[in-house]
Chains A and B, each alone.
Chain A
Amino acid sequence: MKEQLQIQNVSMRLGSFELKEFSLGLNRGDYFVLLGPSGCGKTTLLRTIAGVYQDYNGCVCIGGEDVNGIPPERRRIGYVSQSEDLFPHLNVRKNVAFGLRYTGWDRQEQEEQLQRIIEWMGISGLAEQFPKTLSGGESRRVALARALVVKPRVLLLDEPLGMLDPNARETMIDILKRIHRQTDTTTIHVTHDREEAWMLEGWCGVMMNGQLLQTGSVAEVFRQPGNRAVADFFGGTNIFEARFERRENGVYAMTEFSEFLVEQNVPHTEGAIQLRPETLTFGNSARAEPDRKTCFGKVDAVIRNVSDRGAYLRFETETDNQAELIVDAGHEYRRYAPGERVRLFCRSSPQPLTENTGTEEKSQPLKTG
């Protein structure tokens, strides 16, 4: 095992939160963004890694060492919780320096590391202040400094950008990126915010109901969600139940209102597809059969509503059997008005989705009539 952090089949239950056979491996220097809705077990996972919860099945290894039974203070983990948990009776300098005395470094080394971190975080001006006088962004930076000062083997960040105003978020993201470049610390960044994942450009994973559903680059996960739950989480629109059928020129997804050609190989026969709103266009062209190059499917619909979203126009349309389809199109489509009958074309392959097994209570009703 070369990995810095290795989590294998970890299961545990804590009240309503649980982890189900959770597995994840991170190499040294990885920045992993763990996305998931509130209550999916993200914080439970971080605390299990940190050693706060010890009763789990499976294996957590840090730096190749199984940490089962090792108390949190001997794991050398950096953890920034959602509420920062700065010590109210200590000033910023003492807060940051808190962990240093347990590192076993000599006095001068401790002092140098403290100065270095305080400068990195831009909190030298706050050193003598007490936590209750700090703003949200400031206390977040202090908490991060406090976690980093002991050179942790793994850094766990629980919603580090939550509850910050946009400017403070930008600053914090810059700091996180810079710190990661400079220290190369293996990091897990937990968030429920998709925007954050885009801004951090890291490797990301989607977690739901205690399970890791998909990992990959943000663009990959966003554009090619593996199953319905992930697609839903990424603001899933136009998701329809489908049956997959193999024909001589490819795989077809049969929905209630039309059929679509699917490029990817689909192993199963039942599932769903997502027609991404920006891949749909419309017009009155009357091409007979879907052609693999330009058109992956077509359906007749009536425009119900148009709204201007700034960069594009959003058309809400309805097919003959009451399925609702969202189309995002450029401003050149302005001439189409509600009530107009159009033919929708699918310009790129729809994304086939598997029904997720672990998300019974999360899955939304199907959008078919």
Chain B
Amino acid sequence: METASAATRKRVFLSLLALHLAGYVWCGVTGWIAPFDLFNLILFAFNISAAVMLIRSRFDLWVGAGVMILITAHTFAGHQLAPDELTSGAILLTSILVLYVGMQINKYLPLKYWWVFVASFFALYAIFIHGLPNAEPLFILFLMGMVACARSLRLMAYFWALTLSFTVGQPYSWEAVFILFFILTALFSARSFARSKTTAIFLGVGMAVVFLVLLPIISAVFNMDLHNVGNVLSDLRVREAIWRTFYTATISTFVLIVFMIPFAYALSRLRFRGRTLILSLIDLPIVIPQSVAGMVLLQIFGRKQVLGGAIEQYLGIPVDGTVLGICLAQIFVALPFLTKSAVTAFDSVDEQLEVSARILGASSWSVFWRIACPLAGRGIFLGAVLAWARAAGEFGAVLIVAPSPETAPITAYNRFNSVGVYEAAPLVVVLLLFSVAMFFILQLVGHMIHQKAG
């Protein structure tokens, strides 16, 4: 842009000043503003000094003109925007800053930045001036934030995530910030071979749905009260229930590992009649409702039944209403997870490796231990984690087979039944923390296995 001559500058800025004066007189006469109000006089003096400085300096003509128009306009409209003169002055200064940054963006960055900037400005105006009462100081604050973020669209995205969370997202502001920042970070760091808008959109939308589903858990963790957690943990009944859940799930998983991993290896390596049927039957516990599963188990292993009676006679303890029953119910519901994962894991181990190992002298037992198991290790471990989690979280079947001694899910249910959802909240948080902690520990171990096998 060619620099305007000194004469042009003088003409432009003086006529803007004349415009201010004319408008001031006219508004004063009609009574729209108070003509002898100190603030209005200061604004006029401010504009005069601005005009003088702008004429003498080589400052950009358009920005200068914009500043002067802003001051002029503010003289007439300022008292409508702000409750007091201090706020009004602050809005004016912020507006000048916004104008300056807007001009710079228009000059140095692609057009879309400018549009985002302008749209953001009006959106903020709509939210804070029109949407919220007495939010002018907040408007100024967020405007400054926006100006600071304006040179990068990513920063703008984070800025808006923050703004929306704390305005529209009430009362789940912190949860919303956490979720939105997570999604944005994922989106901005997503890489693929070819840039694909489709997959990016799928990712964003999918994550939004996942987090909506997880919102109760996130919310519970955010609003956790450590004092209450301590109180709950001091309850012997709760401590016992958690410990019982831990060891029954571990025993069940261990039993499944011992019997189902070799079985899965056989299913993966052998082709026989009925193989497909067996593979489908394994999935049966997934489709059976948990309570139904519990009743079915009770019909066979109950202390009045033949098999249940025999077990009670030989082991000395009955199945229903004991830890044995809890484990049985857990094994029943967790079986498909471990077995299916293990079959898939063994399927993915190249059989040629085993053939090579055999030719090198390894027996078939050795091949299972030294080749198949290490290579399928990660898949098996993940299956075991799933099975453990399924066993620990099992409610319906356990409730029917062994309502006492209590496991953690049953304790929570009993508490809910007796005192209601609000009183049960601390216990819920404790159980949630327990599950989430176990989950992260197991994931970490799984990741380490992966690194080693890598």
Residues of chain A at the chain B interface (Cβ within 8 Å)? 47, 50-52, 71-79, 81, 83, 85, 87-89, 98-99, 102-103, 130, 146-147, 150
CB pair B357–A81 under 8 Å, yes or no, is no
Q: For A73, what are the chain B residues with a Cβ–Cβ distance below 8 Å? A: 358-363
Tell me the minimal C-beta distance from A22 to chain B in angstroms. 20
Q: For A88, what are the chain B residues with a Cβ–Cβ distance below 8 Å? A: 375, 453
Q: Using known A-B contacts A88-B375, A89-B375, A89-B453, determine if residue A79 contacts B359 with beta carbons closer than 8 Å.
A: yes
- Which applies to chain B's interface (DSSP): helix, strand, loop or mixed? helix
> With A and B bound together, what is the CA distance between A99 and B352 in angstroms?
16
Chain A: which residue is nearest B367 at the CB level? Answer: A73
CB pair A150–B360 under 8 Å, yes or no, is yes
Given contacts A85-B352, A99-B360, 6 further A-B contacts (CB under 8 A): A52-B358, A73-B362, A77-B359, A81-B355, A85-B353, A87-B371
B374 at the interface (CB under 8 A from A): yes
Q: For A78, what are the chain B residues with a Cβ–Cβ distance below 8 Å? A: 359
CB pair B361–A71 under 8 Å, yes or no, is no
Interface centre among B352, B359, B374, B453, by most A CB within 10 Å?
B359
CB pair A98–B374 under 8 Å, yes or no, is no
Residues of chain B at the chain A interface (Cβ within 8 Å)? 350, 352-353, 355-364, 366, 370-371, 374-375, 453-454
CB pair A76–B361 under 8 Å, yes or no, is yes
CB pair A99–B371 under 8 Å, yes or no, is no
> With A and B bound together, what is the CA distance between A85 and B362 in angstroms?
15
Tell me the minimal C-beta distance from A99 to chain B in angstroms. 4
CB pair B355–A52 under 8 Å, yes or no, is yes
CB pair B356–A102 under 8 Å, yes or no, is no
Instruction: Tell me which of B359, B363, B370, B453 contacts A51 (CB under 8 A).
Output: B359
Q: For A99, what are the chain B residues with a Cβ–Cβ distance below 8 Å? A: 360-362
In order of increasing CB-CB distance, the 4 nearest A-B pairs are A102-B361, A99-B360, A85-B356, A72-B358
CB pair A146–B360 under 8 Å, yes or no, is yes
CB pair A103–B356 under 8 Å, yes or no, is no
Tell me the minimal C-beta distance from A17 to chain B in angstroms. 16
CB pair A50–B352 under 8 Å, yes or no, is no
Q: For A98, what are the chain B residues with a Cβ–Cβ distance below 8 Å? A: 357, 360, 362, 370
Q: For B352, what are the chain A residues with a Cβ–Cβ distance below 8 Å? A: 81, 83, 85
Q: For A51, what are the chain B residues with a Cβ–Cβ distance below 8 Å? A: 358-359
> With A and B bound together, what is the CA distance between A130 and B451 in angstroms?
13
> With A and B bound together, what is the CA distance between A83 and B371 in angstroms?
17
> With A and B bound together, what is the CA distance between A238 and B39 in angstroms?
109
**What are 29 A-B residue pairs whose CB atoms fall within 8 Å in the complex?**
A47-B355, A52-B359, A72-B359, A73-B359, A73-B360, A73-B362, A73-B363, A74-B361, A76-B361, A77-B359, A78-B359, A79-B359, A83-B352, A85-B350, A85-B352, A85-B355, A87-B353, A87-B375, A88-B375, A89-B374, A89-B453, A98-B357, A98-B360, A98-B370, A99-B361, A102-B361, A102-B362, A103-B361, A150-B361
CB pair B359–A102 under 8 Å, yes or no, is no
Q: For A50, what are the chain B residues with a Cβ–Cβ distance below 8 Å? A: 359
Chain B: which residue is nearest A89 at the CB level? Answer: B374
> With A and B bound together, what is the CA distance between A150 and B358 in angstroms?
13
Tell me the minimal C-beta distance from B65 to chain A in angstroms. 66
Instruction: Tell me which of B358, B360, B362, B366 contacts A147 (CB under 8 A).
Output: B360
> With A and B bound together, what is the CA distance between A98 and B268 in angstroms?
24
Interface centre among B352, B353, B361, B374, by most A CB within 10 Å?
B361
Q: For A130, what are the chain B residues with a Cβ–Cβ distance below 8 Å? A: 454
Q: For A85, what are the chain B residues with a Cβ–Cβ distance below 8 Å? A: 350, 352-353, 355-356
> With A and B bound together, what is the CA distance between A77 and B353 in angstroms?
16
> With A and B bound together, what is the CA distance between A89 and B453 in angstroms?
5
Tell me the minimal C-beta distance from A130 to chain B in angstroms. 8
Q: For A72, what are the chain B residues with a Cβ–Cβ distance below 8 Å? A: 355, 358-359
Q: For B361, what are the chain A residues with a Cβ–Cβ distance below 8 Å? A: 73-74, 76, 99, 102-103, 150
Chain B: which residue is nearest A132 at the CB level? Answer: B454
CB pair B357–A87 under 8 Å, yes or no, is yes
Chain A: which residue is nearest B371 at the CB level? Answer: A87
Q: For B374, what are the chain A residues with a Cβ–Cβ distance below 8 Å? A: 89
Instruction: Tell me which of B358, B360, B454 contacts A71 (CB under 8 A).
Output: B358
Interface centre among B356, B357, B366, B370, by most A CB within 10 Å?
B356
Q: For B370, what are the chain A residues with a Cβ–Cβ distance below 8 Å? A: 98
Q: For B355, what are the chain A residues with a Cβ–Cβ distance below 8 Å? A: 47, 52, 72, 81, 85
> With A and B bound together, what is the CA distance between A50 and B360 in angstroms?
10
Tell me the minimal C-beta distance from B62 to chain A in angstroms. 61
Q: For B363, what are the chain A residues with a Cβ–Cβ distance below 8 Å? A: 73, 102
> With A and B bound together, what is the CA distance between A134 and B361 in angstroms?
24
Interface centre among B350, B355, B454, by most A CB within 10 Å?
B355
Q: For A146, what are the chain B residues with a Cβ–Cβ distance below 8 Å? A: 360
Q: For A83, what are the chain B residues with a Cβ–Cβ distance below 8 Å? A: 352
> With A and B bound together, what is the CA distance between A146 and B353 in angstroms?
13
Q: For B359, what are the chain A residues with a Cβ–Cβ distance below 8 Å? A: 50-52, 72-73, 75, 77-79
Chain A: which residue is nearest B453 at the CB level? Answer: A89
> With A and B bound together, what is the CA distance between A79 and B355 in angstroms?
10
Q: For B375, what are the chain A residues with a Cβ–Cβ distance below 8 Å? A: 87-89
Tell me the minimal C-beta distance from A52 to chain B in angstroms. 6
Q: For A79, what are the chain B residues with a Cβ–Cβ distance below 8 Å? A: 356, 359
Tell me the minimal C-beta distance from A121 to chain B in angstroms. 16
Chain B: which residue is nearest A82 at the CB level? Answer: B352
> With A and B bound together, what is the CA distance between A357 and B361 in angstroms?
40
Q: For B357, what are the chain A residues with a Cβ–Cβ distance below 8 Å? A: 87, 98
Tell me the minimal C-beta distance from A258 to chain B in angstroms. 53
Q: For B454, what are the chain A residues with a Cβ–Cβ distance below 8 Å? A: 130
> With A and B bound together, what is the CA distance between A50 and B375 in angstroms?
24
Chain B: which residue is nearest A71 at the CB level? Answer: B358
Q: For B358, what are the chain A residues with a Cβ–Cβ distance below 8 Å? A: 51-52, 71-73
> With A and B bound together, what is the CA distance between A89 and B371 in angstroms?
8
